[in-house]
Amino acid sequence: MTVAIFPGSFDPITNGHLDIATKAAKAFDELYIVIMDNTNKKYFFCREERVAFIEDAVKDIKNIKVITRPEQLTVAVAKELNATVMVRGLRNNEDFIYEQQIANMNKKLAPDLETALFFASPENASVSSSMVKEIAKFGGDVRPFLPKLAATAMIQRLNNE
């Protein structure tokens, strides 16, 4: 049985993340989406909100579990969960260079852990959590980029500010 982890900050989960998680859940037996949470970092959504948005978005995919971990080496999280694969998403060349650096470093730290990169679907290739937050801040419609619960929460939050 192959266990994989998909770590990230998911602040909030976007359709791009969801697309990668869906593909990875088909490729591996069990997938943990790991929300890395750094208590010193300022997130737009708190840990509980980020968990709730992801859980709602993946509720129909039975082999996905959503967990949070304090931000730490992802190789340590993989070891704890007996995961042998680390899933990441690729949108463009910049992501590639970044992910290659992380993968090379992780290979040194955990030789048995493989990184699996999944390409973003073309419609999600320009979507990022930070871009969506910018769009929301200036009153743009975020619904095309986010799973339902995350979009609703974002709209509500900005209406209340």
Cis amide linkage into residue 144, ω under 30° from 0: no
Q: Where are the alpha helices (DSSP H) in 3-161?
A: 15-27, 47-57, 74-80, 93-109, 129-137, 148-160
Q: Which residue among 28, 34, 54, 88 contacts ligand ADP (CB under 6 A)?
A: 88
Q: Is 121 annotated in the active site?
A: no
120 binds ligand ADP (CB under 6 A): yes
14 binds ligand ADP (CB under 6 A): yes
Whose Cβ is closer to ligand ADP: residue 25's or residue 127's? 127
Task: Give Cβ neighbours of residue 16 (< 8 Å, ≥ 6 apart).
Answer: 89, 91, 120, 124, 125, 127, 128, 145
23 binds ligand ADP (CB under 6 A): no
Q: Exactly one of 23, 50, 88, 91 is catalytic; name it.
A: 91
16 binds ligand ADP (CB under 6 A): yes
Whose Cβ is closer to ligand ADP: residue 58's or residue 159's? 58
Smallest gap from Cβ 155 to ligand ADP, in A, equals 20
